[in-house]
Structure 1
Amino acid sequence: MAHRLFGSQTSLREANRALLLDTIRRFGAMTQIELAENTGLSTATISNLVRQMGEQHLLETSSTTRNGRRATLVMLARQKGLGVGLYIGRHEMRLELVDASHTILAEHNLALPHNHKPDTTLERAMILIKETLTSIGAGMDELVGLDIALGAPVDCRTHQLAIPGILKGWDNQDLIGTFREAFNVPVSVDNDANYAALAELRMGIAAGKRHFVYVHANDGVGAGIIINGEPWRGTTGLAGEIGHVQVDPLGDICICGNRGCLNTVVDESRLVSLLSVTHGTMTLEDLVSSVNQGDPGCRRIVADAAIRIGNVVADLCNAVDPQVVVLGGILGTTGSVFLDPLQETLQRMLFPDAMVPMEVLPARYPITGPALGAAMMAVDKVNEHIAVSSQSAGQTS
């Protein structure tokens, strides 16, 4: 009985630690009283957790004042050098802030209006970045890099949209120049699937894998291809754009201008339209929520989409021979409803006599992956540059 009690206390303590860390990541530095109010934990519990996690270098504290009284401000401990990852998609913007050790210090997401325009969206992004740094008590001089993940194909030569019209109004946008001028740090741009794949490679479900395919099934479908531990973009950056593989020569016209692309049968507008008669107006988030609540019609729609996607992913796997396939994006949060049909499709479509069946794994960061991978790359590139510079200096001294 004592052993069970100890186990229960340990589980409760770990849950409280996780709640405390998540609260600070979401809302920034807070006093111990504010943490108690936001978490529902007692002030004594908060005080003990802050002390223990401070000794483990997970949290830092400083003195402040609230309403004229002295208080203890609690924030996440961080290593020198901060990186921002910014995801900009059709419907939302997401920010992840990490330090040099990839510790997540803060994260935010904002809904974006339909056909949002660059001027207002980029202004909101810059304000969000500055407010996020302020919320953790960091100065602008601590920011060392900023990477932007776009929910669209990106030309790796120009760092702009590779296909006009994919994000309406965003063609020929110089994102690198705009953010570099605003923050005076190195800036990079890539597509969301590549960054999400890097997040899974760095500290996700694919850690330790050298070759894998990451499938990002969101409001459209794309893939990030990792070969020898590095993203494979191809000549122009369009490698992995499986959403624009033709699956129906007589199908609907795709936003890219071709006919019958995979996205025309599995993107958000198509999936929710199939439910309009029985379920009325829905968003992709509504669909996924209904799937996870057991709605049979919604589960069927997602399972059918998994089969269509699996047919295309199978061809990609035959071409690059990955160790595993990782599933992310919002459809990846539906668990076995999406994963099992896709796994069965790969099993049927790949070499039948293969010694080892293709393993399909759920992403550890199905939603935050693009922004998180971008943030990691923002600090990694700077650290690699410093390491190379130090090595060169040592060789010449």
Structure 2
Amino acid sequence: MTPSRSSSPAPGSTAALRPANQRRIVELLRARGGESVTQAEAARETGLAAATVSNIVRDLSAAGIVETEPGSGRRGSVVRFARTAGLVASLDFGHSHVAAAVADLAGVVLAEAEAPLHADHPYVEGLALAGELLDTALAEAGHDRSDLRTLCVGLPAPIEGRVVRASAILPGWIGVDAEAVVAEAFGLPVHVENDANLGAWAEHRVGAARGSDNVVFVKSSSGVGGGLIIDGRLFRGARGMAGEIGHLTIDDQGPLCRCGSRGCLEAYTSTATLAAMFAGQGSGVGMTELVAAAHEGNVSARRVFEDAGLHLGWGLASIVNLVNPDVVVVGGDLALAGDLVLDAARVGLRRHALADAADTPVVVSALGRRASLVGGLLLAAERTDVLA
């Protein structure tokens, strides 16, 4: 009896290697984050023969996944993701705002939109506003929802599985299966992530921690959270609680925290705390006004940042001793203060960290308050299989 022939390509054959080689080119384009890649560079960095790269690029171009333009000299044509391959989107919910952005499949931002949103909004209301902002961003980029492949949502709360756990910042989302409700609202593959985790990923990939595989990211705004990159991967912990640096206890007899405990780092370093400390100097003080006052020499404003920075450094010492990162990145609204707060944080870190960890760099975010939004775009792009 004649054995039946399989339609699958033989292992090791050219046909079997083609999808794997195509994926190597796609991953290279993603890793470059929108930077131009010539065919010669692609051959060198992937180890593929120049003729193989040329054939792969031709096939991907025919499929509408990449586009090329002539290069100079012997470097070959420049290759990038094509808009016809689709777009990704990111939604970032904060204490008092929601933002939306769209990007190509390399995570390059094409357009953004933002609007205020009251903290106790029902999640349905938040999603409706987010949808309007997403449509605005898409229109600005010359696209509509039919061009979207994947959506990532950042929330300032621990995410266990797909469910939003306790969040004093967004009470209207507590207990919600965020992935399910967002997927139903937008009809797209959805990934839901803690906003500080997304900030950590963005700084690791394209920001102040680019090139570092062990990173601590601290987001300090109305609340204080953290994201951890360990060995180049996002670390979430067993139940999505990793990185909750804001609730490290600095002083168990200290001020009451919104989590119910006392003396949490957040109770000393959130922007709401800093504004309250400075409230005696005038009403309606936000971070922008507080930073301006400090730069103008206001001693009370400078003391506010010094105190916050010292407490931040004490909290960071515990994390640095435990994780031993390459770098600590401080983001969120507190990052607007720059060295006004970071100089004191470095002092606090040196006082309380082990000697070999005390010189860990503490730097300001390169992406500012956009870090979580950009991280969502990068994560969505990486989880979009353009070859499927």
- TM-score category by the smaller chain? 0.7 to 0.9
Distance in 1 between residues matched to 2:181 and 2:296, nearest whole Å: 43
1:205–1:363 CA contact under 8 A, matched in 2: yes
Change (3 A) 1:140 1:278: closer
Residues 1:297 and 2:297 aligned together: no
Deviation per CA, 1:251-286: give whole Å up to 9, x if none. Answer: 333222223222122223322121122233323343
Residues 1:275 and 2:278 aligned together: yes
Q: CA RMSD in A?
A: 2.5
Partner of 1:233: 236
Residues 1:167 and 2:190 aligned together: no
1:224–1:240 CA contact under 8 A, matched in 2: yes
Paired residue for 1:193, among 192, 196, 220? Answer: 196
Give the deviation of 1:245 after TM superposition: 1.3
Distance in 2 between residues matched to 1:187 and 1:109, nearest whole Å: 20
Give the deviation of 1:186 after TM superposition: 1.2
The TM-score normalised by the length of structure 2 is 0.74
Distance in 2 between residues matched to 1:358 and 1:202, nearest whole Å: 19
1:183-332 equivalent positions in 2, closer than 5 A: 183-332=186-335
Partner of 1:104: 109
SS in 2 for 1:223: strand
Paired residue for 1:373, among 372, 375, 380? Answer: 375
Distance in 2 between residues matched to 1:325 and 1:215, nearest whole Å: 8
Paired residue for 1:129, among 131, 134, 144? Answer: 134
2:164–2:177 CA contact under 8 A, matched in 1: no
Change (3 A) 1:297 1:163: same
Deviation per CA, 1:333-375: give whole Å up to 9, x if none. Answer: 22211121112222222222x2882112221102100011011
1:302–1:331 CA contact under 8 A, matched in 2: no
Distance in 1 between residues matched to 2:295 and 2:374, nearest whole Å: 25
Give the deviation of 1:78 after TM superposition: 4.3
1:166–1:256 CA contact under 8 A, matched in 2: no
Give the deviation of 1:304 after TM superposition: 1.1
Amino acid at match of 1:207: R
Partner of 2:337: 334
The TM-score normalised by the length of structure 1 is 0.73
- What is the aligned length? 312
1:164–1:171 CA contact under 8 A, matched in 2: yes
Distance in 2 between residues matched to 1:363 and 1:247, nearest whole Å: 24
Change (3 A) 1:217 1:292: farther
Partner of 1:113: 118
SS in 2 for 1:368: helix
Identity fraction in percent? 32
Distance in 2 between residues matched to 1:183 and 1:227, nearest whole Å: 32
Moved more, 289-298 or 163-172: 289-298
2:214–2:326 CA contact under 8 A, matched in 1: yes
Distance in 1 between residues matched to 2:116 and 2:345, nearest whole Å: 30
Distance in 2 between residues matched to 1:239 and 1:355, nearest whole Å: 21
Paired residue for 1:358, among 346, 357, 360? Answer: 360
Distance in 2 between residues matched to 1:216 and 1:169, nearest whole Å: 21
Give ranges in structure 2 of 5+ residues lacking alignment. Answer: 1-68, 72-81
SS in 2 for 1:209: coil
Amino acid at match of 1:125: A
Partner of 2:33: none
